[in-house]
Structure 1
């Protein structure tokens, strides 16, 4: 007897990388289906909730190379821009810059740029997002100091000493919710007459890029007229370039379970 095997279809797919979206405050995976688009690339969401990059125009030579990926372009030398949005409105839209190709070496799978590790992208909560018990919470309204325009797409960084406690973004109204999980109910005090304290000293830094962010007149905000395009910024780029962009720093005291409302103004050139 002769056994005849016919191959009816043969499909090979090379994965170029994957995105794992996490909550900016808790670092927990965002299970909600998001809209993820990458210029010049194809993305699909898998059953694990990862957004897998299956094709990219600038990496066409990689698509059919399985055993030995091309040496060029060099690892991490191609920057792709991804836009992420939450149709449910729980998270603000943002931009992420992805460095491809990823390192395909199996013996370096633990490295940050490995193909076997998804690229982690933080999603920032909208002002109506749910909050956890005993979180310190900052509700911020940001305006341009001279005109009163609302500033959308501003980055807020909360630090205690050298440690970053939280980050947040402002929406088109200039409103931001910055949850700060993990603030202790009590901590050691620096005061001579107290052993413990219920507050944690922190600094809030504001960073805004006039070229990327959104300025909206206060009258439009009061009327509830949302712009045709919502602000979309790359928070990692803003933080990396914060010293060269308009910024300001404010000292504050955080406490577990305390919600603070701050109305702030930032001077722009």
Structure 2
């Protein structure tokens, strides 16, 4: 070694394994939301990296999952992959998107050969965010605005899941806010399309249905008088849309047939009979 070449000495080593990467996306377009986000989870350290991903660096509980962050070369054998849920609260500062809860299954699969799998440590978890009622729209989107009430008390129902379905395919989803109001843009509807009805070659509308599901345990009821007075409650609705989706068959619900057309707004006032 040349006597003028400096020798390097290791003074400190910091190695850790990240536990997951999260990516917040616009529910209508799938575009990544790059700024204005606040993510939090009890006992967890979440940091936004230079790629715009939110990285779960560590968790405090359960201890078996926390140990994964300190095991760089060989992850612990327990707990089983995906057996523990990290509950994350997502808020967007401008109010363009509604707040929500998301659940991420830990630990993630660390095998490089499985990097393309949905449960891989190397595959970011997408968290769709749903627009608030004042969010901007694109001219050729179908614009659905829904007002949801309890058909008995007339209370506004916040935190309800809205689905737009056509031919068995979910075209769009949305959430109601504290006033029971939801904006659900539907993108990708062609200006004209081939008709399935006899006597027509092309049409400018498609048949669909609105489905709305409300979970009384997680949703929020606001008296109509409070909504009319514009008094915002101290806490806004905060639900996990995926949980509502999974349990929808057993939840109070309402549906209605609609027709959709590019660039055309549609306003619906709907009620759900709550137990």
Partner of 1:9: 12
Using the TM superposition, give the Cα deviation of residue 69 of structure 1 relative to its aligned residue in structure 2, in angstroms.
0.3
Partner of 2:140: 134
Using the TM superposition, give the Cα deviation of residue 193 of structure 1 relative to its aligned residue in structure 2, in angstroms.
1.8
Matches within 5 A, 1:25-174: 25-57=28-60, 58=62, 59-174=65-180
For residues 215 and 93 of structure 1, the distance between their equivalents in structure 2, rounded to whole angstroms, comes to 16
Taking structure 1 as the reference length, the TM-score comes to 0.97
Using the TM superposition, give the Cα deviation of residue 4 of structure 1 relative to its aligned residue in structure 2, in angstroms.
4.2
**SS in structure 2 of the partner of residue 142 of structure 1:** strand
**SS in structure 2 of the partner of residue 261 of structure 1:** strand
Q: Deviations over 1:99-142 (max 9, x none)?
A: 01000000110101000010010000000101112000101111
**SS in structure 2 of the partner of residue 243 of structure 1:** helix
Q: RMSD in angstroms over aligned alpha carbons? A: 1.2
The yes-or-no answer on 1:184 pairing with 2:196 is no
Using the TM superposition, give the Cα deviation of residue 86 of structure 1 relative to its aligned residue in structure 2, in angstroms.
0.5
Using the TM superposition, give the Cα deviation of residue 28 of structure 1 relative to its aligned residue in structure 2, in angstroms.
1.0
CA contact (8 A) 2:16 2:72 kept: no
Using the TM superposition, give the Cα deviation of residue 38 of structure 1 relative to its aligned residue in structure 2, in angstroms.
1.2
Matches within 5 A, 1:197-208: 197-208=203-214
**SS in structure 2 of the partner of residue 237 of structure 1:** helix
For residues 11 and 240 of structure 1, the distance between their equivalents in structure 2, rounded to whole angstroms, comes to 41
Using the TM superposition, give the Cα deviation of residue 5 of structure 1 relative to its aligned residue in structure 2, in angstroms.
3.0
Using the TM superposition, give the Cα deviation of residue 158 of structure 1 relative to its aligned residue in structure 2, in angstroms.
0.4
Partner of 1:242: 248
* Runs of 4+ residues deviating >2 angstroms: 1-10
**SS in structure 2 of the partner of residue 194 of structure 1:** coil
Of 169-178 and 28-37, the range deviating more from structure 2: 28-37
Where do 5+ consecutive residues of structure 1 fail to align?
Answer: none
Using the TM superposition, give the Cα deviation of residue 229 of structure 1 relative to its aligned residue in structure 2, in angstroms.
0.7
Partner of 2:263: 257
User: Between Structure 1 and Structure 2, how many residues are aligned?
Assistant: 269
For residues 192 and 203 of structure 1, the distance between their equivalents in structure 2, rounded to whole angstroms, comes to 21
